[in-house]
Amino acid sequence: MELFETDKAEGALAEAGERVVAVAVNTNVWRTFDYIWGDELGEPAVGQRVRVPFGLGNRPTVGFVVDCGRARPERKLKKVAELIDSEVQLDQALWRLGHWIHEYYLTPLGMTLGAMIPSAVGRRPPRSETVAYLTSGRSEWSASLGPRQRRVLDELFEAKRQGVEPVVLEALLQHSGASRDSIKRLRRRGLIRLESRPVRLPELTLAEHGDPFELNEDQQRVLTDLKGKLAGGFSCTVLYGVTGSGKTEVYIRAVREVIARGRQSIVLVPEIALATQTLQRLVGRLPRVAVLHSGLTDTERAFYYEQIRDGHADVVVGPRSAVFAPTRRLGLIVVDEEHEPSYKQDTTPRYHGRDVAVKRAALEGIPIVLGSATPSLESLHNVHQHRYHLLRLPHRVRGLPMPVLQIVNLRRDIEPRKIELIGRTLTLKMAATLDRDEQIILLMNRRGYASYVFCPSCEWKFSCENCTRLMVFHRATQLAMCHYCQHTAPLPERCPACDGKLVYFGYGIQRIENELTRKFPEARVARMDSDTMTAPRQFREVFAAFSEGKLDILLGTQMVAKGLDFPRVSLVGVVSADTSLVIPDFRSAERTFQLIEHVAGRAGRAPTQTGMGEVVVQTLFEDEPAIQFAAHHDYDGFVEYELPSRRETNLPPFSRMIRFVVRHRKLDKAEGGADVLAGALRPIVEDLGAAVYGPQPAVVRKIRNLFRFQILLVFREPGTVQKALLGRMEALCKEVPGELIADVDPIHLL
């Protein structure tokens, strides 16, 4: 093909005796490509990683050998440039899993396999690393600094404030989006200092403490059932346990049983849970634990991969990508908080970690446990269809009662003409809690200070120049930020359209932080959101201070809703329950219920002076069913209400979806490409009973200067449409102008 036509200096005909292999390259192409395998590389094997010259520019590209017995073609071929792995990294089960992801999630095979192995595996690890220190104060930061340079300084400022300096340069570049040139310019200005230090490789945890208490009757019943399933064979168990019911303790003892049988376990947790007590319990109670998370450097990630592959780790704990851990003796997979949307990857390959974990368990022939206080409707539907088994932990440990939840209408609870976000009821309860020397958790699921900035005179709004979204004002940095593309810009002093005065409208976590300072000046407050927390070490510092009673109020986004267990927390406040409710998505009610239920579960996890925990939920929509069901901790009632409406409208879990998005810098190209795609899809999928909706503009019409149009396919049988489309994906990508994205089982439709 044209992509691989080369001159005599670049390619040659395969000679007699020379072997030809097929390679799936780690880039967005759908076919495999033939290469000459030189004798100096030894015997080829399916699954080996290689580096090959790819494209007209012969770009060195990683690929995977997928066929060792290709016939010699008459056209010229390039040679494999380098053998990365002398031994195949992926065993048979993982190799089959990679092919399943490629076929089910409609992702190029090379990109799928590439996501399963850290890029640094097989490379000689560096002996030193660069770390950064902040050497300046905010007053020294020039207004001429670029947005990414300012973001670097902000991250270093937060790290210094929290006592977790220095920051590894690799992590700083990843979180800030800055280039190395930007870092060098900051150093030349004297604003930061860079140093080199020896690489500090992590170690497997060795601590293994005893059991702190006896299991209660419910926990013992569940554990006995799970032990029976460990004997062998695939099974999927949904563990539905109310908040504080001791699910983690059940996981620990089941994993111990697996270790005693000489097997390994994988425990998947949402990324944020890696910084909470959930991780501390697992690490403190289990032997030889490898902890994976996004804060690891490439070298650390490769080190853990090799430790797991070589059998030195008994337990792997990590977010969705840990499902690919190369455990050779896998005996159990646990997915904690299985309902969490963060298990779905939003870049290629767009897989769902929970569902891939179920598939891996099936391929390995082992049990898997999906745990949650609010199981997803998809998992519950599988229980109803007798595909999964349901176990319940209906009571909190030690007989503790569920917290009392009070719904407050914010319109009636705020004094007229006052701009406040914490109403009268919550303010009074917070004051009483602080008087009792107890602790408070506040949830505000929106970053920034103001939702948007606008001019009341001409109604001009400060919008992102790259996206069709409003900019959010962040007071700490005095910058406006787009939460879709991360673009930042200084705030204009006056309205650029009419020179009028600008007004900050809406609410965000920074504004609440200011209100807390005003209302409770003596209270010790810590804020947790992605603007202040960029590494697990920062989370641990705050959690430790809160646990030791050095903080009174923990304010955060949904980071504070999961995996926290602080005995002195007697009050939880949800500042606004409506932020997820108003999102135009059919799962918004389910997510609202889940968020309220989980954050409410942080209260009353130990006896308090008032006898039980309290939760105050502020809302503008107090009659919304999701909020009312959450007020009574009524998960079963919510399910009985929500499932019939999903069935009537043929929405998941009663159907499957594939969302196609066409992106292009030009509006007419994106729209035209979506029209072409819809026309090509209809004759393929409608015969399979699939409904085609669209094309139509995406809810967020433009992100990062790319216009977006979407098409939804809705169908009954999982996998049927993918089988029909897989062989057509390369042609579809060529026919459609612009970039084509396939999102199978999407978790949002924005």
* Cα atoms in the 13 Å half-sphere on the side-chain side of 661: 22
**Residue 482 to residue 472: CA distance in whole angstroms:** 6
Q: Considering the chain, what percentage of its residues have pLDDT values greater than 70?
A: 90
In-domain check, residue 315: yes
**Residue 382 to residue 376: CA distance in whole angstroms:** 10
DSSP one-letter code for 687: G
Residues 134 and 182 in one domain: yes
**Domain total in the chain:** 6
From residue 189, alpha-carbon distances to 147, 149, 169, 213 in Å are: 16, 12, 17, 57
The burial of 127, by beta-carbon neighbours within 10 Å (0-12 exposed, 13-18 middle, 19 or more buried), is given as exposed
How long a stretch of residues is the chain? Answer: 750
Residue 448, pLDDT > 60, answer no
3-state secondary structure of 48: coil
Domain with 149 in it: what CATH number? 1.10.10
Residue 293, pLDDT > 90, answer no
According to the model, what pLDDT value does residue 339 have? 95
Residues 164 and 64 in one domain: no
According to the model, what pLDDT value does residue 177 have? 80
Q: Reading across the β-sheet that carries 479-481, which strands appear in turn?
A: 472-474, 479-481, 488-490
According to the model, what pLDDT value does residue 4 have? 35
According to the model, what pLDDT value does residue 9 have? 36
Q: What is the largest CA-CA distance in the chain?
A: 88
According to the model, what pLDDT value does residue 735 have? 93
Residues 247 and 173 in one domain: no
In-domain check, residue 67: yes
Which span out of 58-62, 282-286, 572-576 was modeled with the highest average pLDDT? 58-62
Residues 545 and 612 in one domain: yes
- The continuous run of DSSP H or E covering 590 comes out as helix 588-600
What is the DSSP track for 333-381? EEETTTT-GGGB-SSSS--BHHHHHHHHHHHHT-EEEEEESS--HHHHH
Q: Report the pLDDT averaged over residues 404-423.
A: 83
Residues 340 and 405 in one domain: no
According to the model, what pLDDT value does residue 476 have? 57
Last residue of a domain, one of 589, 623, 645: 645
Residues 585 and 476 in one domain: no
- The continuous run of DSSP H or E covering 719 comes out as none
User: Which of these, 83, 79, 48, 53, lies nearest to 66 by C-alpha position?
Assistant: 48
β strands within 378-417, DSSP E: 389-393, 404-409
Cα dihedral across residues 722, 723, 726, 728: positive or negative: negative
Last residue of a domain, one of 621, 645, 669: 645
Q: How confident is the model at residue 163 (pLDDT cuts 50, 70, 90)?
A: confident
**Residue 546 to residue 551: CA distance in whole angstroms:** 5
Domain with 722 in it: what CATH number? 3.30.70.600
Residue of 320 and 11 predicted with greater confidence: 320
Q: Do residues 504 and 453 lie in contact, with contact meaning Cβ atoms separated by under 8 Å?
A: yes
Residues 242 and 363 in one domain: yes
Residue of 199 and 262 predicted with greater confidence: 262
Residues 622 and 559 in one domain: yes
In-domain check, residue 111: no
**Residue 372 to residue 206: CA distance in whole angstroms:** 28
Residue 16, pLDDT > 70, answer no
Give the number of other Cβ atoms within 10 Å of residue 226's Cβ.
Answer: 24
Give the tens place of pLDDT for each residue, 114-136: 999 998 888 777 788 899 999 98
According to the model, what pLDDT value does residue 475 have? 62
Q: Report the pLDDT averaged over residues 363-386.
A: 97
Residues 225 and 340 in one domain: yes
Residues 161 and 257 in one domain: no
Q: Report the pLDDT averaged over residues 652-673.
A: 96
Q: What are the phi and psi torsion angles at 730 (to 5°)?
A: -65, -45
Residues 571 and 422 in one domain: yes
In-domain check, residue 212: no
**Residue 342 to residue 353: CA distance in whole angstroms:** 9
In-domain check, residue 263: yes
Q: How confident is the model at residue 510 (pLDDT cuts 50, 70, 90)?
A: confident
What is the DSSP track for 304-329? HHHHHHTT--SEEEESGGGGG---SS
Contacts of 628 (CB under 8 A, 6+ apart): 407, 622
Give the number of other Cβ atoms within 10 Å of residue 614's Cβ.
Answer: 22
In-domain check, residue 232: yes
Contacts of 155 (CB under 8 A, 6+ apart): 167, 172, 175, 176, 534
Residue of 66 and 141 predicted with greater confidence: 66
In-domain check, residue 80: yes
Residue 370, pLDDT > 90, answer yes
According to the model, what pLDDT value does residue 449 have? 43
Contacts of 609 (CB under 8 A, 6+ apart): 436, 438, 570
Residue 545, pLDDT > 50, answer yes
Residues 391 and 431 in one domain: no
The boundaries of the domain holding residue 682 are: 656-744
**Residue 452 to residue 543: CA distance in whole angstroms:** 31
Domain with 351 in it: what CATH number? 3.40.50.300
Last residue of a domain, one of 645, 676, 701: 645
Residue 403, pLDDT > 50, answer yes
**Residue 21 to residue 88: CA distance in whole angstroms:** 15
Residue of 65 and 119 predicted with greater confidence: 65
In-domain check, residue 211: no
Q: Do residues 479 and 491 lie in contact, with contact meaning Cβ atoms separated by under 8 Å?
A: yes
- Of the listed ranges 255-269, 286-300, 510-524, 701-715, the least confidently predicted one is 286-300
Cross-strand partners of 553:
440, 525
Residue 64, amino acid: F
